[in-house]
Amino acid sequence: MALSQSQREALRRPIRWFLDTNPAHPDEIPRRELTFFGLSLWGQSSLHSMAGSDRFFHFCTNVLMLRPETVGKLTGATTMFDALNDPVAGSIIDGYRFKDGRKLLPWIRITSPPIAILAFLLFVNWNLPTGAAIAYCAAMYVLWDILYSFRDAAIWGMTAAVSPRSDQRARASQYADIGSMLGGLLPALTMPMLSGGGAFGLNQQQVYLMFAVVLCLGGGFQSLFAMGMNERVRSLPTPSEDKKPHVLRDFWQNLVDLRHNHIILLLLASEVLSSLAPNVTDIYIYQQLSYQVGGREISAGLLVTILGAVTLLPGGVLKFFATKIAARVGGMKRIIVVARVASIVTGVLGFLVGIKSVWALALVQLIDGFSNLPGSLNSIAWRALVGDSVDYVEWKIGKRTEGITMSVRNLMAKMGNAMKRLIQGYTLRFLQFDAGLVPRGLPQNAHFRRWIWPAFRLGPVLGMVMSLIPLLLLKYPESLRRQVEAEMAERRALAAAQGRQETV
Protein backbone atom coordinates (compact mmCIF):
# COMPACT_ATOMS: atom_id res chain seq x y z
CA MET A 1 0.00 0.00 0.00
CA ALA A 2 1.44 3.39 -1.03
CA LEU A 3 2.07 5.91 1.73
CA SER A 4 0.29 9.24 1.68
CA GLN A 5 2.24 12.48 1.47
CA SER A 6 1.60 13.14 5.16
CA GLN A 7 2.88 9.69 6.11
CA ARG A 8 6.03 10.13 4.03
CA GLU A 9 6.62 13.48 5.70
CA ALA A 10 6.18 11.88 9.13
CA LEU A 11 8.87 9.31 8.32
CA ARG A 12 11.31 11.87 6.89
CA ARG A 13 10.91 14.62 9.50
CA PRO A 14 9.01 13.18 12.51
CA ILE A 15 9.66 16.13 14.87
CA ARG A 16 8.63 18.69 12.27
CA TRP A 17 5.56 16.58 11.43
CA PHE A 18 4.40 16.36 15.07
CA LEU A 19 4.94 20.10 15.60
CA ASP A 20 3.15 21.18 12.41
CA THR A 21 0.90 24.21 13.02
CA ASN A 22 -0.83 24.23 9.61
CA PRO A 23 -3.74 21.76 9.44
CA ALA A 24 -5.09 20.57 6.09
CA HIS A 25 -8.49 22.07 6.92
CA PRO A 26 -9.26 25.22 9.01
CA ASP A 27 -11.61 23.25 11.29
CA GLU A 28 -8.97 20.65 12.15
CA ILE A 29 -6.81 20.82 15.26
CA PRO A 30 -3.14 21.61 14.45
CA ARG A 31 -0.92 18.60 15.06
CA ARG A 32 1.29 20.67 17.36
CA GLU A 33 -1.60 21.10 19.80
CA LEU A 34 -2.36 17.39 19.73
CA THR A 35 1.32 16.59 20.36
CA PHE A 36 1.40 18.95 23.33
CA PHE A 37 -1.79 17.35 24.63
CA GLY A 38 -0.18 13.92 24.39
CA LEU A 39 2.97 15.14 26.17
CA SER A 40 0.84 16.65 28.92
CA LEU A 41 -1.04 13.39 29.48
CA TRP A 42 2.28 11.54 29.35
CA GLY A 43 3.41 13.53 32.37
CA GLN A 44 0.11 13.18 34.18
CA SER A 45 0.04 9.42 33.57
CA SER A 46 3.59 9.04 34.91
CA LEU A 47 2.62 10.85 38.08
CA HIS A 48 -0.69 9.07 38.53
CA SER A 49 0.85 5.65 37.86
CA MET A 50 2.88 6.23 41.00
CA ALA A 51 0.78 8.28 43.40
CA GLY A 52 -2.70 7.24 42.33
CA SER A 53 -2.11 3.55 41.67
CA ASP A 54 -1.29 0.34 43.50
CA ARG A 55 2.37 1.38 43.72
CA PHE A 56 1.48 3.66 46.64
CA PHE A 57 -0.40 0.75 48.23
CA HIS A 58 2.73 -1.42 47.86
CA PHE A 59 4.95 1.38 49.23
CA CYS A 60 2.80 1.54 52.37
CA THR A 61 2.91 -2.23 52.98
CA ASN A 62 6.53 -2.91 52.01
CA VAL A 63 8.40 0.29 52.95
CA LEU A 64 6.29 1.79 55.73
CA MET A 65 5.44 -1.77 56.88
CA LEU A 66 1.78 -1.00 57.48
CA ARG A 67 -0.67 -3.90 57.65
CA PRO A 68 -2.46 -4.59 54.32
CA GLU A 69 -5.95 -4.19 55.78
CA THR A 70 -4.86 -0.89 57.35
CA VAL A 71 -3.58 0.34 53.98
CA GLY A 72 -6.78 -0.85 52.32
CA LYS A 73 -8.85 1.16 54.79
CA LEU A 74 -6.52 4.18 54.52
CA THR A 75 -6.44 4.37 50.72
CA GLY A 76 -10.08 3.38 50.43
CA ALA A 77 -11.27 6.04 52.90
CA THR A 78 -9.09 8.84 51.53
CA THR A 79 -10.04 8.04 47.95
CA MET A 80 -13.72 7.89 48.87
CA PHE A 81 -13.43 11.27 50.62
CA ASP A 82 -11.81 12.87 47.63
CA ALA A 83 -14.30 11.23 45.27
CA LEU A 84 -17.01 13.26 46.97
CA ASN A 85 -14.91 16.37 46.32
CA ASP A 86 -14.77 15.77 42.57
CA PRO A 87 -18.30 17.01 41.71
CA VAL A 88 -17.66 20.13 43.77
CA ALA A 89 -14.46 20.75 41.80
CA GLY A 90 -16.27 20.14 38.52
CA SER A 91 -19.11 22.45 39.50
CA ILE A 92 -16.65 25.21 40.39
CA ILE A 93 -14.91 24.75 37.02
CA ASP A 94 -18.23 24.89 35.13
CA GLY A 95 -19.42 27.96 37.02
CA TYR A 96 -16.26 30.08 36.82
CA ARG A 97 -14.78 31.95 33.87
CA PHE A 98 -11.33 33.51 33.88
CA LYS A 99 -10.84 36.99 32.44
CA ASP A 100 -9.88 35.62 29.02
CA GLY A 101 -13.12 33.61 28.84
CA ARG A 102 -11.50 30.21 29.36
CA LYS A 103 -12.62 27.80 32.07
CA LEU A 104 -10.28 24.76 31.77
CA LEU A 105 -6.66 25.57 30.87
CA PRO A 106 -5.99 28.04 33.73
CA TRP A 107 -6.78 25.32 36.27
CA ILE A 108 -4.06 23.13 34.75
CA ARG A 109 -1.51 25.94 35.11
CA ILE A 110 -2.49 26.67 38.73
CA THR A 111 -2.60 23.13 40.09
CA SER A 112 0.25 21.32 38.31
CA PRO A 113 3.23 22.49 40.48
CA PRO A 114 1.69 21.72 43.91
CA ILE A 115 0.38 18.37 42.64
CA ALA A 116 3.90 17.37 41.57
CA ILE A 117 5.37 18.28 44.97
CA LEU A 118 2.65 16.56 47.00
CA ALA A 119 2.89 13.38 44.90
CA PHE A 120 6.64 13.29 45.55
CA LEU A 121 6.11 13.71 49.31
CA LEU A 122 3.86 10.63 49.34
CA PHE A 123 6.94 8.45 48.75
CA VAL A 124 9.21 9.97 51.40
CA ASN A 125 9.71 7.70 54.42
CA TRP A 126 10.25 9.88 57.47
CA ASN A 127 10.53 6.81 59.76
CA LEU A 128 7.51 7.94 61.71
CA PRO A 129 5.70 5.78 64.30
CA THR A 130 2.83 3.75 62.85
CA GLY A 131 0.07 6.15 63.92
CA ALA A 132 1.95 9.21 62.68
CA ALA A 133 2.81 7.48 59.39
CA ILE A 134 -0.87 6.71 58.79
CA ALA A 135 -1.84 10.32 59.57
CA TYR A 136 0.92 11.68 57.29
CA CYS A 137 -0.09 9.44 54.38
CA ALA A 138 -3.75 10.35 54.81
CA ALA A 139 -3.03 14.10 54.91
CA MET A 140 -0.67 14.07 51.89
CA TYR A 141 -2.99 11.85 49.89
CA VAL A 142 -6.09 13.96 50.55
CA LEU A 143 -4.28 17.23 49.71
CA TRP A 144 -2.80 15.74 46.55
CA ASP A 145 -6.04 14.19 45.40
CA ILE A 146 -8.19 17.27 46.04
CA LEU A 147 -5.95 19.39 43.80
CA TYR A 148 -5.77 16.55 41.31
CA SER A 149 -9.57 16.65 41.05
CA PHE A 150 -9.40 20.14 39.51
CA ARG A 151 -6.59 19.37 37.09
CA ASP A 152 -7.94 15.99 36.02
CA ALA A 153 -11.41 17.39 35.29
CA ALA A 154 -9.86 20.30 33.40
CA ILE A 155 -7.36 18.34 31.33
CA TRP A 156 -9.82 15.65 30.27
CA GLY A 157 -12.48 18.30 29.77
CA MET A 158 -10.28 19.58 26.98
CA THR A 159 -11.21 16.48 24.94
CA ALA A 160 -14.69 18.02 24.71
CA ALA A 161 -13.69 21.70 24.50
CA VAL A 162 -10.84 21.43 21.99
CA SER A 163 -13.19 21.25 18.97
CA PRO A 164 -16.91 21.35 18.09
CA ARG A 165 -16.37 18.42 15.70
CA SER A 166 -16.70 14.87 17.05
CA ASP A 167 -14.02 13.52 14.71
CA GLN A 168 -11.54 16.12 16.00
CA ARG A 169 -12.49 15.37 19.61
CA ALA A 170 -11.78 11.71 18.86
CA ARG A 171 -8.34 12.69 17.49
CA ALA A 172 -7.63 14.61 20.71
CA SER A 173 -8.69 11.58 22.77
CA GLN A 174 -6.43 9.43 20.62
CA TYR A 175 -3.32 11.58 21.19
CA ALA A 176 -4.16 11.91 24.89
CA ASP A 177 -4.45 8.15 25.25
CA ILE A 178 -1.18 7.54 23.43
CA GLY A 179 0.47 9.98 25.82
CA SER A 180 -1.11 8.19 28.78
CA MET A 181 0.18 4.87 27.47
CA LEU A 182 3.73 6.18 27.14
CA GLY A 183 3.50 7.73 30.59
CA GLY A 184 2.73 4.33 32.06
CA LEU A 185 5.90 2.68 30.69
CA LEU A 186 8.49 3.95 33.19
CA PRO A 187 6.35 3.23 36.29
CA ALA A 188 6.18 -0.40 35.10
CA LEU A 189 9.94 -0.64 35.75
CA THR A 190 9.27 -0.44 39.47
CA MET A 191 8.28 -4.11 39.48
CA PRO A 192 11.57 -5.63 38.22
CA MET A 193 13.57 -3.16 40.31
CA LEU A 194 11.62 -4.16 43.43
CA SER A 195 11.92 -7.90 42.77
CA GLY A 196 13.68 -9.62 45.64
CA GLY A 197 13.42 -6.45 47.74
CA GLY A 198 15.51 -4.16 45.54
CA ALA A 199 17.96 -3.90 42.63
CA PHE A 200 21.32 -2.28 41.67
CA GLY A 201 22.25 -1.97 45.32
CA LEU A 202 19.11 0.03 46.11
CA ASN A 203 16.60 -1.05 48.71
CA GLN A 204 12.84 -0.69 48.17
CA GLN A 205 12.71 2.70 49.88
CA GLN A 206 15.47 4.11 47.64
CA VAL A 207 13.86 2.70 44.49
CA TYR A 208 10.57 4.39 45.31
CA LEU A 209 12.29 7.70 46.11
CA MET A 210 14.15 7.65 42.79
CA PHE A 211 10.96 7.01 40.82
CA ALA A 212 9.13 9.69 42.82
CA VAL A 213 11.69 12.31 41.77
CA VAL A 214 11.55 11.38 38.08
CA LEU A 215 7.87 10.53 37.67
CA CYS A 216 6.05 12.56 40.32
CA LEU A 217 8.05 15.78 40.15
CA GLY A 218 9.05 15.45 36.49
CA GLY A 219 5.68 14.19 35.31
CA GLY A 220 3.78 16.83 37.25
CA PHE A 221 5.60 19.69 35.59
CA GLN A 222 5.52 17.97 32.19
CA SER A 223 1.71 18.15 32.31
CA LEU A 224 2.03 21.92 31.76
CA PHE A 225 2.46 21.17 28.04
CA ALA A 226 -1.35 21.35 27.92
CA MET A 227 -1.02 25.13 28.01
CA GLY A 228 -0.06 24.94 24.32
CA MET A 229 -3.64 23.96 23.44
CA ASN A 230 -6.60 26.08 22.36
CA GLU A 231 -9.91 25.93 24.22
CA ARG A 232 -12.12 26.45 21.15
CA VAL A 233 -15.60 25.54 22.40
CA ARG A 234 -16.96 28.06 24.88
CA SER A 235 -20.32 27.92 26.60
CA LEU A 236 -23.10 29.75 24.78
CA PRO A 237 -24.68 32.65 26.73
CA THR A 238 -27.58 31.54 28.95
CA PRO A 239 -29.98 33.46 31.22
CA SER A 240 -28.41 31.76 34.25
CA GLU A 241 -25.17 33.63 33.63
CA ASP A 242 -26.88 36.83 34.78
CA LYS A 243 -27.16 35.37 38.27
CA LYS A 244 -24.39 35.70 40.82
CA PRO A 245 -22.45 32.39 41.06
CA HIS A 246 -23.30 30.29 44.09
CA VAL A 247 -21.15 27.20 44.66
CA LEU A 248 -23.68 25.13 46.63
CA ARG A 249 -26.67 26.00 44.44
CA ASP A 250 -24.71 25.46 41.22
CA PHE A 251 -23.30 22.21 42.57
CA TRP A 252 -26.71 20.66 43.15
CA GLN A 253 -28.07 22.02 39.87
CA ASN A 254 -25.15 20.53 37.97
CA LEU A 255 -25.74 17.16 39.61
CA VAL A 256 -29.44 17.33 38.72
CA ASP A 257 -28.52 18.17 35.12
CA LEU A 258 -26.62 14.88 34.87
CA ARG A 259 -29.95 13.07 34.58
CA HIS A 260 -29.96 14.24 30.95
CA ASN A 261 -26.63 12.48 30.30
CA HIS A 262 -27.55 8.81 30.04
CA ILE A 263 -24.27 8.12 28.21
CA ILE A 264 -22.00 9.07 31.11
CA LEU A 265 -24.28 7.49 33.73
CA LEU A 266 -24.20 4.08 32.05
CA LEU A 267 -20.46 4.29 31.39
CA LEU A 268 -19.87 5.11 35.06
CA ALA A 269 -22.06 2.26 36.24
CA SER A 270 -20.00 -0.07 34.09
CA GLU A 271 -16.71 1.16 35.57
CA VAL A 272 -17.91 0.85 39.18
CA LEU A 273 -19.24 -2.68 38.68
CA SER A 274 -15.89 -3.76 37.25
CA SER A 275 -14.27 -2.84 40.61
CA LEU A 276 -16.53 -4.90 42.86
CA ALA A 277 -14.51 -8.12 42.76
CA PRO A 278 -11.54 -9.72 44.59
CA ASN A 279 -8.22 -8.43 43.28
CA VAL A 280 -4.49 -8.18 43.92
CA THR A 281 -1.95 -6.16 41.99
CA ASP A 282 0.70 -7.89 39.88
CA ILE A 283 3.67 -6.98 42.05
CA TYR A 284 2.46 -9.18 44.92
CA ILE A 285 2.50 -12.28 42.73
CA TYR A 286 5.68 -11.64 40.73
CA GLN A 287 7.95 -9.92 43.25
CA GLN A 288 9.40 -13.10 44.81
CA LEU A 289 8.89 -15.48 41.87
CA SER A 290 11.86 -16.46 39.67
CA TYR A 291 12.73 -18.97 36.92
CA GLN A 292 15.82 -20.74 35.63
CA VAL A 293 16.55 -19.47 32.11
CA GLY A 294 19.69 -20.68 30.38
CA GLY A 295 21.22 -21.73 33.67
CA ARG A 296 20.57 -18.34 35.25
CA GLU A 297 17.90 -17.36 37.75
CA ILE A 298 15.78 -14.46 36.45
CA SER A 299 13.03 -12.76 38.41
CA ALA A 300 9.47 -13.09 37.17
CA GLY A 301 9.05 -9.34 37.57
CA LEU A 302 11.78 -8.67 34.99
CA LEU A 303 10.39 -11.29 32.60
CA VAL A 304 6.86 -9.95 32.89
CA THR A 305 8.08 -6.41 32.22
CA ILE A 306 10.01 -7.50 29.09
CA LEU A 307 7.35 -9.88 27.77
CA GLY A 308 4.60 -7.41 28.59
CA ALA A 309 6.33 -4.65 26.65
CA VAL A 310 6.66 -6.93 23.61
CA THR A 311 3.10 -8.31 23.69
CA LEU A 312 1.54 -4.91 24.39
CA LEU A 313 3.35 -3.25 21.49
CA PRO A 314 0.74 -4.22 18.84
CA GLY A 315 -2.01 -2.71 20.96
CA GLY A 316 0.03 0.46 21.34
CA VAL A 317 0.36 0.69 17.55
CA LEU A 318 -3.41 0.24 17.16
CA LYS A 319 -4.00 3.42 19.17
CA PHE A 320 -2.82 5.41 16.15
CA PHE A 321 -5.69 3.93 14.11
CA ALA A 322 -8.42 4.13 16.76
CA THR A 323 -10.76 6.46 14.86
CA LYS A 324 -10.54 4.40 11.66
CA ILE A 325 -11.12 1.15 13.54
CA ALA A 326 -14.16 2.62 15.32
CA ALA A 327 -15.64 3.58 11.95
CA ARG A 328 -15.11 0.05 10.65
CA VAL A 329 -16.57 -1.85 13.64
CA GLY A 330 -19.62 0.36 14.18
CA GLY A 331 -18.65 2.99 16.73
CA MET A 332 -16.82 3.59 20.00
CA LYS A 333 -19.31 1.74 22.19
CA ARG A 334 -18.72 -1.49 20.30
CA ILE A 335 -14.99 -1.18 20.91
CA ILE A 336 -15.62 -1.03 24.67
CA VAL A 337 -17.89 -4.08 24.60
CA VAL A 338 -15.40 -6.11 22.55
CA ALA A 339 -12.60 -5.10 24.94
CA ARG A 340 -14.58 -6.31 27.97
CA VAL A 341 -15.45 -9.63 26.34
CA ALA A 342 -11.80 -10.13 25.36
CA SER A 343 -10.71 -9.47 28.96
CA ILE A 344 -13.14 -12.10 30.23
CA VAL A 345 -12.02 -14.77 27.77
CA THR A 346 -8.27 -14.16 28.14
CA GLY A 347 -8.55 -13.85 31.91
CA VAL A 348 -9.97 -17.38 32.13
CA LEU A 349 -7.48 -18.74 29.58
CA GLY A 350 -4.55 -17.23 31.49
CA PHE A 351 -5.81 -18.78 34.72
CA LEU A 352 -5.99 -22.23 33.11
CA VAL A 353 -2.45 -21.95 31.70
CA GLY A 354 -0.89 -20.86 35.00
CA ILE A 355 2.70 -19.78 35.64
CA LYS A 356 4.43 -22.96 36.77
CA SER A 357 7.14 -22.61 34.12
CA VAL A 358 8.76 -19.80 32.20
CA TRP A 359 7.01 -21.04 29.05
CA ALA A 360 3.64 -20.91 30.79
CA LEU A 361 4.41 -17.36 31.92
CA ALA A 362 5.30 -16.41 28.35
CA LEU A 363 2.06 -17.94 27.07
CA VAL A 364 0.01 -16.00 29.63
CA GLN A 365 1.68 -12.78 28.51
CA LEU A 366 0.92 -13.66 24.88
CA ILE A 367 -2.73 -14.30 25.78
CA ASP A 368 -2.91 -10.95 27.55
CA GLY A 369 -1.38 -9.36 24.46
CA PHE A 370 -4.36 -10.56 22.41
CA SER A 371 -6.69 -9.09 25.03
CA ASN A 372 -4.85 -5.80 24.78
CA LEU A 373 -5.58 -5.43 21.06
CA PRO A 374 -9.16 -4.20 21.65
CA GLY A 375 -8.32 -3.20 25.22
CA SER A 376 -5.77 -0.63 24.02
CA LEU A 377 -8.61 1.27 22.33
CA ASN A 378 -10.95 1.12 25.32
CA SER A 379 -9.93 4.38 26.97
CA ILE A 380 -9.94 6.27 23.64
CA ALA A 381 -13.46 5.04 22.96
CA TRP A 382 -14.54 5.87 26.52
CA ARG A 383 -13.33 9.46 26.34
CA ALA A 384 -14.69 10.00 22.84
CA LEU A 385 -18.13 8.98 24.11
CA VAL A 386 -17.78 11.27 27.12
CA GLY A 387 -16.92 14.17 24.79
CA ASP A 388 -19.99 13.36 22.69
CA SER A 389 -22.11 13.32 25.85
CA VAL A 390 -21.13 16.91 26.67
CA ASP A 391 -22.44 18.03 23.27
CA TYR A 392 -25.55 15.90 23.77
CA VAL A 393 -26.38 17.57 27.10
CA GLU A 394 -25.79 21.04 25.66
CA TRP A 395 -28.12 20.12 22.79
CA LYS A 396 -30.81 19.08 25.29
CA ILE A 397 -30.56 21.82 27.95
CA GLY A 398 -28.34 24.52 26.40
CA LYS A 399 -25.52 24.15 28.93
CA ARG A 400 -21.99 22.78 28.57
CA THR A 401 -20.90 20.54 31.44
CA GLU A 402 -17.27 19.54 30.84
CA GLY A 403 -16.33 20.16 34.47
CA ILE A 404 -19.11 18.26 36.20
CA THR A 405 -19.09 15.46 33.59
CA MET A 406 -15.36 14.79 33.94
CA SER A 407 -15.40 15.23 37.72
CA VAL A 408 -18.33 12.87 38.22
CA ARG A 409 -16.48 10.42 36.03
CA ASN A 410 -13.50 10.88 38.40
CA LEU A 411 -15.81 10.49 41.39
CA MET A 412 -17.11 7.14 40.22
CA ALA A 413 -13.62 6.02 39.14
CA LYS A 414 -12.25 6.90 42.58
CA MET A 415 -15.15 5.24 44.35
CA GLY A 416 -14.44 2.19 42.23
CA ASN A 417 -10.73 2.41 43.10
CA ALA A 418 -11.58 2.91 46.78
CA MET A 419 -13.67 -0.25 46.75
CA LYS A 420 -10.98 -2.04 44.74
CA ARG A 421 -8.26 -1.12 47.23
CA LEU A 422 -10.43 -1.91 50.22
CA ILE A 423 -11.18 -5.31 48.68
CA GLN A 424 -7.49 -5.73 47.81
CA GLY A 425 -6.52 -5.16 51.44
CA TYR A 426 -8.91 -7.83 52.65
CA THR A 427 -7.90 -10.12 49.79
CA LEU A 428 -4.26 -9.91 50.95
CA ARG A 429 -5.43 -10.50 54.51
CA PHE A 430 -7.31 -13.59 53.35
CA LEU A 431 -4.15 -14.73 51.57
CA GLN A 432 -2.18 -14.18 54.84
CA PHE A 433 0.38 -11.95 53.09
CA ASP A 434 3.46 -11.10 55.24
CA ALA A 435 5.45 -8.09 53.98
CA GLY A 436 8.26 -8.84 56.42
CA LEU A 437 9.25 -11.93 54.42
CA VAL A 438 10.07 -9.94 51.25
CA PRO A 439 13.33 -8.18 52.32
CA ARG A 440 14.63 -11.49 53.70
CA GLY A 441 13.91 -13.30 50.44
CA LEU A 442 11.63 -15.80 52.18
CA PRO A 443 8.55 -17.22 50.41
CA GLN A 444 5.00 -16.51 51.44
CA ASN A 445 2.94 -19.23 53.17
CA ALA A 446 1.34 -22.16 51.34
CA HIS A 447 -2.14 -20.62 51.63
CA PHE A 448 -0.91 -17.49 49.81
CA ARG A 449 0.79 -19.50 47.08
CA ARG A 450 -2.35 -21.58 46.51
CA TRP A 451 -4.87 -18.74 46.17
CA ILE A 452 -2.89 -15.78 44.80
CA TRP A 453 -3.21 -16.89 41.16
CA PRO A 454 -7.02 -17.43 41.22
CA ALA A 455 -7.47 -14.06 42.97
CA PHE A 456 -5.21 -12.34 40.44
CA ARG A 457 -6.77 -13.82 37.30
CA LEU A 458 -10.40 -14.70 38.09
CA GLY A 459 -11.30 -11.81 40.39
CA PRO A 460 -11.14 -9.20 37.58
CA VAL A 461 -13.09 -11.57 35.29
CA LEU A 462 -16.05 -11.37 37.66
CA GLY A 463 -15.86 -7.57 37.55
CA MET A 464 -15.74 -7.52 33.75
CA VAL A 465 -18.84 -9.73 33.50
CA MET A 466 -20.82 -7.36 35.74
CA SER A 467 -19.58 -4.31 33.82
CA LEU A 468 -21.12 -5.53 30.56
CA ILE A 469 -24.70 -5.01 31.79
CA PRO A 470 -24.79 -1.16 31.65
CA LEU A 471 -22.86 -1.14 28.37
CA LEU A 472 -25.53 -3.22 26.66
CA LEU A 473 -28.13 -0.64 27.74
CA LEU A 474 -26.22 2.34 26.28
CA LYS A 475 -27.89 3.73 23.14
CA TYR A 476 -26.43 6.65 21.14
CA PRO A 477 -26.86 5.89 17.43
CA GLU A 478 -24.78 7.57 14.75
CA SER A 479 -27.86 9.29 13.32
CA LEU A 480 -28.51 11.08 16.62
CA ARG A 481 -24.85 12.05 16.98
CA ARG A 482 -24.86 13.68 13.52
CA GLN A 483 -28.10 15.52 14.34
CA VAL A 484 -26.67 16.87 17.60
CA GLU A 485 -23.45 18.02 15.96
CA ALA A 486 -25.26 19.76 13.08
CA GLU A 487 -27.76 21.59 15.28
CA MET A 488 -25.08 22.70 17.75
CA ALA A 489 -23.02 24.09 14.86
CA GLU A 490 -26.06 26.15 13.83
CA ARG A 491 -26.56 27.47 17.37
CA ARG A 492 -22.91 28.49 17.71
CA ALA A 493 -22.95 30.22 14.34
CA LEU A 494 -26.09 32.13 15.34
CA ALA A 495 -24.60 33.15 18.70
CA ALA A 496 -21.40 34.32 16.97
CA ALA A 497 -23.41 36.39 14.47
CA GLN A 498 -25.43 37.99 17.27
CA GLY A 499 -22.23 38.78 19.13
CA ARG A 500 -20.78 40.56 16.11
CA GLN A 501 -23.97 42.58 15.68
CA GLU A 502 -23.86 43.67 19.33
CA THR A 503 -20.22 44.71 18.90
CA VAL A 504 -21.11 46.85 15.88
The predicted-structure confidence for 368-384, as pLDDT tens digits, reads as follows 988 888 888 888 888 88
> Which residue, 90, 387, 410, 392, is CA-closest to 253?
90
Query: Distance between CA 189 and CA 162 in Å, rounded?
Result: 33
Chain centre to alpha carbon of residue 474: 21
Query: What average pLDDT does the segment 125-153 reach?
Result: 90
Strands (E), 151-236: 198-199, 202-203
Question: Given this model, what pLDDT does residue 503 score?
Answer: 47
Query: Distance between CA 91 and CA 77 in Å, rounded?
Result: 23
Query: Distance between CA 245 and CA 232 in Å, rounded?
Result: 23
3-state secondary structure string across 385-435? HHHHHHHHHHHHHCCCCHHHHHHHHHHHHHHHHHHHHHHHHHHHHHCCCCH
In a domain, 321, yes or no: no
With 90 as the cut, is the pLDDT of residue 25 above it?
no
DSSP 3-state of 199: strand
User: pLDDT higher for 363 or 153?
Assistant: 363
Question: Given this model, what pLDDT does residue 504 score?
Answer: 44
**Candidate ranges 243-257, 313-327, 439-453; pick with highest mean pLDDT:** 439-453
Residue 489 pLDDT level (bands cut at 50, 70, 90):
confident
Number of structural domains the chain divides into: 1
With 60 as the cut, is the pLDDT of residue 386 above it?
yes
Question: Given this model, what pLDDT does residue 200 score?
Answer: 66
CB-CB contact of 47 with 187 (8 Å):
no
Question: Given this model, what pLDDT does residue 221 score?
Answer: 94
User: pLDDT higher for 320 or 108?
Assistant: 108
Buried-state track 468-491, b at ≥16 Cβ within 10 A, e below 16 = bebbeebebeeeebeebbeebeee
> 435 Cβ partners below 8 Å, 6+ apart?
61, 62, 65, 68
Query: Distance between CA 188 and CA 50 in Å, rounded?
Result: 9
CATH number at residue 225: 1.20.1250
Instruction: Read off the DSSP letter of residue 224.
Output: G
In a domain, 370, yes or no: no
* pLDDT tens profile 37-94: 999 999 999 998 888 777 888 899 889 999 888 888 887 787 777 667 777 888 788 8
Instruction: Read off the DSSP letter of residue 442.
Output: P
Query: Distance between CA 124 and CA 64 in Å, rounded?
Result: 10
Query: Distance between CA 483 and CA 460 in Å, rounded?
Result: 38
Query: Distance between CA 432 and CA 443 in Å, rounded?
Result: 12
Determine the structural domain holding residue 260 and report its residue range. 34-230+247-286+400-503
Query: What average pLDDT does the segment 276-282 reach?
Result: 86
Residue 30 CB-density burial (10 A; 0-12 exposed, 13-18 middle, 19+ buried): middle
> 140 Cβ partners below 8 Å, 6+ apart?
118, 121, 122
Query: Distance between CA 318 and CA 184 in Å, rounded?
Result: 17
Q: How far is CA 22 from CA 29, 33, 323, 478, in A?
A: 9, 11, 21, 30
* pLDDT tens profile 207-227: 899 989 999 999 999 999 999
Question: Given this model, what pLDDT does residue 219 score?
Answer: 92
Mean pLDDT is lowest, of 118-122, 141-145, 301-305, 413-417, for 413-417
In a domain, 499, yes or no: yes
User: pLDDT higher for 126 or 258?
Assistant: 126
In a domain, 340, yes or no: no
Query: Distance between CA 336 and CA 266 in Å, rounded?
Result: 12
CB-CB contact of 387 with 373 (8 Å):
no
Residue 284 one-letter amino acid: Y
DSSP 3-state of 493: helix
Question: Given this model, what pLDDT does residue 388 score?
Answer: 86
Residue 266 one-letter amino acid: L
Concatenating the DSSP letter of every residue in 273-320 gives HHHSS----HHHHHTT-EEEETTEEEEHHHHHHHHHHHHHHHHHHHGG
With 70 as the cut, is the pLDDT of residue 487 above it?
yes
In a domain, 452, yes or no: yes
CB-CB contact of 236 with 491 (8 Å):
yes
Question: Given this model, what pLDDT does residue 241 score?
Answer: 47
